[in-house]
Amino acid sequence: MEKRRVVITGLGGVSPIGNTLESILESIRTSKSGIDIIENFNIEDFQVKLAGEVKNLDFENYIDRKSLRRMDRVGIFGLIAGIKSVKDSGLDFNQVDKDRAGIYISSGIGGLGTIESQKIKGMENGYEKVSPFFIPMVIVNLVGSQLASHFGLHGSCLCPVTACAGSNSAIGEGYRSIKDGYNDIILAGGAEASITPLGIGGFSSMKALSKEEDKERASIPFDKERSGFVMGEGAGVLVLEELEHAKNRNAKIYGEIIGYGSTCDAGHITQPNSEGIYAAKAMENAISEGGIEKSKIDYINAHGTSTPLNDKFETIAIKKVFEENYEKILVSSTKSMTGHLLGASGAIEAIITLISMKNEIIPPNINYRIKDEECDLNIVKNKYREGKINYALSNSLGFGGHNVSLLFKRWED
């Protein structure tokens, strides 16, 4: 059977740099950072003071009050991002086959805030007094199933959990599902809401987070002074659609997915492979599936977490793939603006990549000051550039050795 083509027809995001496509695009154009002092909880006794929190989002504009009381913040973010993506796509699910429309939504951690609050309630009142909605509020798959229920979709409803590569895994597997003929529409992406005392404390104790208090020097991917990542939160959902299905309803198209690579280091539980072998293989597999020459790649939205080892090893991987031509490819990590959204990071970065392709700009790696000789990529420093991106890779790497790379192609109307 001839493989089918998969396009992106809708985008919805909830992020530290904006909750609409227009505000996210404006943040890219103005090099706006969403990183600030943590407001979600009292940080007096914490060394980590900064995070990328979602702000200026009225939940009740999207979800009724009764339902909100039964949802964790992660589910709220995911549902709102999904609602936004469907609205943006112009889809009317009453006009399509709901048995061939599905959901692939990831989360790295799930309802961590609810776990913390209900633990306290259990200690104080007894564990049989915790909320009867406790389990549905915290399990990771419920983010996607709530979205399926909202729209009444009966196709595949899956939750790939690959840590910080989660939403790229969801997008990639959704792409394959449509390409191979199992579904016509997939809402794909991820959600995360782990800016909590336990979330910050856990990542801080493993020395993964930056303790920098200067907002402009905290999330600084590929900069020589980087000292750890900054936690972000939010959600991103993409509407993936079979090309002819999209054309038949005159849908607008942001771009096309033409390749997906997924590999595993099968090594250290947190540290990436030091030679970048399998991160490189994920990129190579995506390019191979896309059927293009490596020289066609214009831009890479890097995983670029701002940790000393990740950025160094990702640089090695990129150089391994592109060899002597690596300096021709523009690279940025938009985590410099958003922080690291863990399982939602790939989805927000895919959205940023696609709207940048559509608007003929290359997103910046902000707050970059000091060159690291071990990260000698062609970094888009501090300000966006004007330019056409015909082919872009978006990389995500996750604890456990997960490596995922997506290949996007510019859509010409």
**Whole-angstrom Cα distance, residue 237 to residue 387?**
25
**Whole-angstrom Cα distance, residue 376 to residue 42?**
39
- Asked about 340 being catalytic, the answer comes back as yes
**Whole-angstrom Cα distance, residue 226 to residue 56?**
29
Q: Are 290 and 259 in contact (CB under 8 A)?
A: yes
**Whole-angstrom Cα distance, residue 303 to residue 312?**
11
Overall size of the chain counted in residues = 413
DSSP state of 52: B
- Asked about 150 being catalytic, the answer comes back as no
Report the 10 Å Cβ neighbour count for 210. 25
The crossing angle, in degrees rounded to 10, of helices 21-30 and 345-359 is 80
- Asked about 245 being catalytic, the answer comes back as no
For 234: left if phi > 0, alpha if psi spans -120 to 50, otherwise beta; the answer is: left
E strand map for 173-242: 185-192, 234-242
In this structure, the strands spanning 255-264 and 330-332 are unpaired
SS3 115: helix
| 20 CA to centre of own chain | 15
E strand map for 315-413: 330-332, 361-362, 378-379, 385-386, 391-398, 402-410
Catalytic residue among 157, 159, 164, 375: 164
Take residue 403 and report the two structure tokens written for it: 């490596």
Catalytic residue among 157, 245, 340, 402: 340
Residue 221 carries which side chain, given as an amino acid letter? P
Catalytic residue among 159, 303, 375, 402: 303
Q: Which residues are catalytic?
A: 164, 303, 340
